[in-house]
Amino acid sequence: MTSMSSYSQINYVKEDGVAWITINRPKVLNTLNVEAINELASALEDAEKDEDIKVLVITGEGEKAFCAGIDINQFVVLSPIKRREFTISYRERVLNRIRGMGKPVIAMVNGYALGAGCELTMTCDLAIASENARFGQPEVNIAAIPGGGGTQLLPRHVGIKKAMELAMTGDLIDAKEAERLGIVNKTVPFDKLKETVIELVNKLKSKSPVALKMVKAAINRSQESLLLSGLAYETEAFTLCSTSEDFNEGVKAFLEKRKPEWKGR
């Protein structure tokens, strides 16, 4: 049995015990705006409560992007308070819900996974990527820092030194490197991506939901002793960065496709 829910920024389909959530903003590389975050939160809440749903899959529409971060055009016009609310909303209503729900969540990474998209990939319990996928935390390029958990999640996945490198340089890595570092579980050709994810979904559906819930909770507990305080600090630092002159210059340069001129304030 298949059911579809009506949203404007995402597609949400429930079929054979699986919730398929697709960020549907391909013209802007599936970046996240306020509306998309609200819809993701709504779909996740519904899937969590639906006893027929055993596994969730999150992906992006098209062949170019899983999620290329936040929608900078919308974000830049928000006040500092609204920027903070935006960041907390994404972290708590989307990422923390994924982390806390007692069902497996798979990221089906079909292209760019940058900024918030990289954080979303790392938050999901499992991740399968197509060979054309690219990963990174490029916020430093506009004088910002990761705001959805990147500073806390990257070290847990790739180690301190590599996390420093990725967050300080803003460099992107390809899917094979992401697999080597542990950001994703497996890399496959694009035309094999959904097939591979369905194989994993079916394997998970064959397991006890109780056992899967307990495994997820126990493994996540091993990572959470300092995670929550680190996430809270990251939010404040991110908000502070977004009030700087350098941030305004970085965004302006990004939109104008030119090299920024930093002032250090």
Q: Residue 246: pLDDT above 60? A: yes
Phi-psi region for residue 182, left (φ > 0), alpha (ψ -120 to 50) or beta? left
Give me the residue spans of the domains in the chain: 2-192+207-212
Give the model's confidence band at 3: pLDDT under 50 very low, under 70 low, under 90 confident, else very high.
Answer: low
Enumerate the active-site residues: 119, 139
* pLDDT tens readout for residues 167-214: 999 999 999 999 999 999 999 999 999 999 999 999 999 998 988 898
Tokens of 1: 């049995």
Helix (H, G, I), strand (E, B) or coil at 169: helix
Single-letter amino acid code for the residue at 121: T
Q: Residue 230: pLDDT above 60? A: yes
Beta bridge partners of 58: 21, 107
Predicted TM-score of the model (pTM): 0.87
Distance CA 64, CA 60 (A): 9
Q: Residue 5: pLDDT above 90? A: no
HEC string for 173-241? EEHHHHHHHCCCCEEECHHHHHHHHHHHHHHHHCCCHHHHHHHHHHHHHCCCCCHHHHHHHHHHHHHHH
What is the topology classification, in CATH, of domain 2-192+207-212?
Answer: 2-enoyl-CoA Hydratase; Chain A, domain 1 (3.90.226)
Q: Are strands 10-15 and 2-5 parallel, antiparallel or unpaired?
A: antiparallel
Give the model's confidence band at 40: pLDDT under 50 very low, under 70 low, under 90 confident, else very high.
Answer: very high
